[in-house]
């Protein structure tokens, strides 16, 4: 392969050089402006895939570009290394998760290194290491201290066949994703973080994140799901009990024709006791227990329910209203009970039609029949209140306000805000996670582990069996302990934390990765935080990003962080596809990064993945496209090496004298390219067009090499510029060529070039001549030709004259530097 450059030796050489010289190690430097760029750290699954390569290539270009722009750049990498796959591998092969994980980390790290990424490996973190999870436990204790961690009984998804708890994502259409058994609900005592306390702030502060994609902000907003409404009480007929409901439509209270309790509601038992319906109710409640939340709350599930035999009293008109229980009312939203207005709520409408419950229209509108029997669907639009006593005639908006106020005045109800965001269940009955640092004492109850006893270490000798319980339950020397308060024998918590807890604060750990006393020092975090540019897949748009925001706000509140949002700018990259679908082993469409790097080198791999599509869009893998990028780098190699001899004695002048047209053209291209690449990399991250621009420059240089009399200064400037601009994308080949050209300093240490305005001024410009918006001819004129002269020249143009002869010229539009448009009839 005489004609291609030897990427494998070049890449290895430069990677070793950078490492030896510690190029990417950074320290806090108050004299320099900082820039923190971060790619979402990976789970150490064993091998890098193309999605990783894309993610890290993007981050690396940004980091290198910002460094060359004089910023003090923090660009760290680590491992999100707790989690199920390690434990499943342990169950299957008998290896300890530590071994499996460490081997995977080593392997992936060496793969990462072949990509030539500018990481400060000194700051590497791994969430499964005691020096890290010590502080995950610290976070738990702080949350506990601030009443943001609590334990309660909660229904979880339970697979009776696998004997284990399943995450919602592991439940597919109501069945276990592994064995297809119908998933049940089981009540377990679990730890929660009270993220709901932060719901309003998490919502409000989205507006302070202009650097986030709207898509992500909207997803978070919907997930938080704030809704304003009214909570009010209804007496239960013939009983001392009352029920509370939440509604966003108090204006429709006169249209209530039945009430619904969630099957799990505590009142169900009380009010149905002794009624003829008691047996039906119990049967229904029992049946619902075995249907998972996931399938019960699916919109496709048909609504069903039973009458409880009891009645509630409508506080506004004293009507007796039957109380039902139904599958479509959820215990964990609002109060677990609703007022049903079939005329103005589609769900209630469906249910009422099915069970022949009356429908009463209370909002009149021309868009909907006034007679309920003629309705085919609920009417939820604008209108005025009717059949509502004194409130008739009010609009929906007025009605909501007025009835709210009325209820408040009469002590029936109050204005309330509900969120659909739930508290975060963090307990996992698993081994491979950070142990929850709590101890249960018979006398003192739940006692937090004192800070000086952290970390609570995972024990080594553990048997891994799929039992549905934490394996830690079987390790006596782990769970047997003494109460930190009274010294009496006590039992440790054996659940571990959700791995999302570990990843909710890692970005702050990178600021002080070696601190053994604290998760990070405030001083370091004040310098580095917030992350200026965060990059990762959109699949983390809700959970990870929400949890990280929650933790940051909490750390801000306890004065550990000055910022209260972790990520100033967010780039959500698209997936890497092959043959139209996501690369996966089962589809057999995986392209391995190792193979590509082996065949073409890291520079080609990086270049292709950045060139093939803009970063936020999905990228279709194309082997021939990779080859195109490889050819381009070879072209650069040949071009630059062919210039070396000519340029040996050339030094760049301070200013360029009068140039001949060809030289001027090349110099124009050089500076236009600087401008283009700089603008594309500054905030917009259009890597694909930046790379196109360097290709155009290369083409222009090749063309210039054919010119008889070449201006070597202009050529040298072009060569230097090309190498610098291309460096963030393809760092190895450019460093090598730079060195071969006789330069000692590394490109990475050079300042980013600025363009010369003067070089961008052209003497002549092509003007398009249009007739009624259609291009008819072009003319080349001096750049500074005046508006009047342009018009005059256009009208004198032969082609225009010919085409407008016999027509009346209505007006002429002149856009200097661009076009002249003649409107003729």
Partner RNA sequence: GCGGAUGUGGCGGAAUUGGCAGACGCACCAGACUUAGGAUCUGGCGUUGCGAGACGUGGAGGUUCGAGUCCUCUCAUCCGCACCA
Chain positions 1 to 60 lying near RNA, rule: CB under 7 A, are: 3-4
Least distance to RNA, CB of residue 257, Å? 13
CA distance 235 to 263: 19
**Complex with RNA: residue 597 or 822, whichever CB lies closer:** 822
Residues 245-304 that bind RNA (CB under 7 A): 246-249, 262, 296-303
CA-based R_g, the chain, Å = 34
Residue whose CB is less far from RNA, 386 or 814: 814
Stretch that binds RNA, among 223-231, 379-387, 650-658, 661-669 (CB under 7 A): 223-231
| CB of residue 289 to RNA, shortest distance in Å | 15
Binding to RNA by residue 200, rule CB under 7 A?
Answer: no
| Token pair in block for residue 250 | 């108090």
Dist CA 633 CA 53 (whole Å): 19
Q: Which of 15, 573, 686, 727 binds RNA (CB under 7 A)?
A: 686
Give the residue from 549, 716, 718, 570 showing the smallest Cα distance to 645: 716
Classify burial at 624, counting beta carbons within 10 Å of its beta carbon; exposed 0-12, middle 13-18, buried 19 or more: exposed
Nearest residue (CB) to RNA, 32 versus 801: 801
Which distant-in-sequence residues (6+ apart) come within 8 Å of 361 by Cβ?
255, 343, 368, 370, 371, 372, 375, 379, 386, 387
Euclidean distance between the first and the last CA atom of the chain, given in angstroms as a whole number: 64
Residue of 44, 116, 229, 315 interacting with RNA (CB under 7 A): 229
Q: Which is nearer to RNA, 16 or 766 (CB)?
A: 766
Neighbours of 294 (CB within 10 A): 18
Q: Kindly tell me which residue out of 8, 233, 467, 699 binds RNA, with binding defined by CB under 7 A.
A: 699
Other beta carbons within 10 angstroms of residue 292's beta carbon come to 25
- In this structure, the chain runs to a length of 825
SS3 helix, strand, coil % of the chain, rounded to 5?
Answer: 40, 20, 40
Parallel, antiparallel or unpaired: strands 34-39 and 531-537:
parallel
Q: Are strands 576-578 and 619-620 parallel, antiparallel or unpaired?
A: parallel
Using CB under 7 A as the binding rule, whether residue 95 contacts RNA is answered as: no
Residue 17 or 333: the one with the smaller Cβ distance to RNA is 333
> Does the protein bind RNA through residue 635 (CB under 7 A)?
yes
Instruction: Pick the binder of RNA from 141, 149, 268, 338 (CB under 7 A).
Output: 338
**Among residues 386, 456, 613, 722, which is the contact residue for RNA, using CB under 7 A?**
613
345 touches RNA by CB under 7 A: yes
Alpha carbon distance 277, 117 (integer Å): 69
395 or 692, CB closer to RNA?
692
Distance of CA 690 to the CA centre of its chain: 25
Residues 393-452 interacting with RNA (rule: CB under 7 A): 418, 420
659-678: contacts with RNA (CB under 7 A): 676
**Dist CA 119 CA 161 (whole Å):** 45
**Per-residue DSSP letter, 92:** H
**Binds RNA by CB under 7 A, chosen from 515, 776, 791, 795:** 776
Pick the binder of RNA from 267, 281, 497, 612 (CB under 7 A): 612
| Count of residues interacting with RNA (CB under 7 A) | 91
Nearest approach in angstroms of CB 169 to RNA is: 8
Instruction: Give the interface segment with RNA, choosing from 33-41, 51-59, 371-379, 537-545 (CB under 7 A).
Output: 537-545
Question: Taking CB under 7 A as the rule, does residue 225 contact RNA?
Answer: yes
| Binding-site member from 14, 35, 632, 755 for RNA (CB under 7 A) | 632
Cβ proximity to RNA, 370 vs 815, nearer residue: 815
Q: Closest CB to RNA among 622 and 648?
A: 622
* Cα separations in angstroms, 665 against 672, 726, 760, 825: 10, 21, 9, 40
User: What are the angstrom distances between the C-alpha of 218 and each of 170, 203, 371, 652?
Assistant: 25, 10, 39, 52
In the window 357-396, what residues touch RNA (CB under 7 A)?
none
Judged by CB under 7 A, the stretch of 111-119, 372-380, 395-403, 606-614 that binds RNA is 606-614
């Amino acid at each position: 392969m005489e004609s291609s450059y030897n990427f494998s030796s070049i890449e290895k050489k430069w990677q070793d050089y950078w490492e030896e010289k510690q190029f990417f190690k950074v320290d806090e430097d108050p004299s320099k402006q900082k820039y923190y760029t971060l790619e979402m750290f990976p789970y150490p699954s064993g091998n890098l895939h193309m999605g990783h390569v894309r993610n890290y290539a993007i981050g690396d270009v940004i980091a290198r570009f910002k460094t060359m722009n004089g910023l003090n750049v923090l660009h760290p990498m680590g491992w999100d290394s707790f989690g199920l796959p390690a434990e499943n591998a342990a169950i299957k092969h008998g290896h300890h998760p530590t071994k499996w994980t460490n081997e995977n980390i080593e392997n992936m790290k060496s793969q990462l290194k072949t990509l030539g990424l500018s990481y400060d490996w000194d700051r590497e973190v791994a969430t499964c290491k005691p020096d890290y999870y010590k502080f995950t436990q610290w976070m738990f204790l702080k949350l506990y201290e601030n009443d943001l961690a609590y334990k309660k009984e909660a229904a979880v998804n339970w697979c009776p066949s696998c004997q284990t708890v399943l995450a919602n994502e592991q439940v597919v259409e109501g069945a276990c994703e592994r064995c297809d058994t119908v998933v049940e609900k089981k009540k377990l005592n679990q730890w929660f973080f009270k993220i709901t306390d932060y719901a309003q702030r998490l919502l409000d502060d989205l507006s302070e994140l202009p650097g986030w994609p709207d898509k992500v902000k909207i997803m978070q907003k919907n997930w938080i799901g704030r809704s304003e409404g009214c909570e009010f009480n209804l007496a239960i007929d013939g009983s001392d009990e009352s029920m509370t409901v939440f509604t966003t439509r108090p204006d429709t209270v006169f249209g209530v024709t039945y009430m619904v309790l969630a099957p799990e509601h505590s009142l169900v038992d009380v009010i149905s006791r002794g009624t003829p319906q008691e047996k039906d109710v119990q049967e229904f409640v029992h049946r619902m227990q075995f249907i998972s939340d996931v399938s019960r709350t699916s919109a496709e599930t048909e609504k069903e329910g039973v009458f409880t035999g009891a009645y509630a009293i409508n506080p506004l008109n004293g009507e007796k209203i039957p109380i039902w229980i139904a599958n479509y009312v959820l215990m964990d939203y609002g109060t677990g009970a609703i007022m049903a207005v079939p005329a103005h709520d589609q769900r209630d409408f469906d249910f009422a039609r099915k069970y022949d419950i009356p429908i009463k229209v209370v909002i009149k509108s021309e868009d909907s029949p006034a007679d309920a029997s003629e309705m085919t669907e609920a009417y939820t639009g604008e209108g005025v209140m009717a059949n509502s006593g004194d409130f008739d005639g009010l609009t929906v908006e007025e009605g909501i306000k007025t009835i709210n106020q009325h209820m408040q005045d009469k002590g029936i109800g109050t204005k309330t805000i509900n969120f659909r965001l739930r508290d975060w269940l963090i307990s996992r009955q698993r081994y491979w996670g950070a142990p929850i640092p709590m101890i249960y004492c018979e006398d003192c109850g739940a006692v937090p582990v004192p800070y000086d006893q952290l970390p609570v270490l995972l024990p080594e000798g553990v048997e891994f069996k799929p039992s549905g319980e934490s394996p830690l339950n079987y390790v006596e020397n782990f769970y047997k302990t003494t109460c930190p308060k009274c010294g009496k024998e006590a039992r440790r918590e054996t659940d571990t934390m959700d791995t999302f807890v570990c990843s909710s604060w890692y970005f702050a750990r990178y600021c002080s990765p070696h601190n053994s006393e604290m998760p990070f020092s405030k001083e370091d975090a004040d310098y580095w935080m917030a992350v200026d540019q965060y990059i990762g897949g959109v699949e983390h748009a809700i959970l990870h990003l929400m949890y990280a925001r929650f933790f940051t706000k909490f750390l801000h509140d306890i004065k550990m962080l000055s910022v209260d949002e972790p990520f100033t700018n967010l780039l959500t990259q698209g997936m890497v596809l092959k043959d139209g679908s996501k690369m996966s082993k089962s589809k057999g469409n995986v392209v391995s990064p190792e193979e590509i790097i082996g065949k073409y080198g890291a520079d080609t791999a990086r270049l292709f993945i950045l060139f093939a599509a803009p970063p936020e869009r999905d990228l279709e893998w194309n082997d021939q496209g990779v080859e195109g990028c490889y050819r381009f780098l070879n072209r650069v190699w040949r071009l630059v090496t062919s210039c070396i001899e000519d340029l040996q004695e050339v030094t760049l002048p301070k200013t360029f004298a009068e140039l001949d047209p060809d030289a001027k053209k090349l110099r124009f291209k050089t500076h236009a390219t600087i401008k283009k690449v700089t603008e594309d990399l500054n905030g917009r991250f259009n890597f694909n067009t930046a790379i196109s621009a360097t290709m155009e420059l290369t083409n222009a240089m090749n063309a210039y090499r054919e010119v008889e009399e070449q201006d070597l200064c202009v050529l040298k400037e072009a060569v230097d510029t090309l190498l610098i601009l291309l460096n963030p994308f393809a760092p190895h080949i450019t460093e090598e060529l730079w060195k071969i050209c006789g330069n000692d300093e590394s490109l990475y240490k050079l300042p980013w070039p600025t363009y010369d305005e003067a070089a961008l001024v052209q003497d002549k410009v092509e003007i398009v001549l249009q007739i009624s918006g259609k291009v008819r001819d072009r003319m080349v004129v001096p750049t500074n030709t005046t508006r009047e002269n342009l018009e005059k020249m256009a009208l004198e143009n032969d082609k225009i004259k010919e085409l407008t002869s016999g027509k009346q010229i209505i007006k002429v539009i002149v856009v200097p530097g661009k076009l002249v448009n003649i409107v003729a009839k």
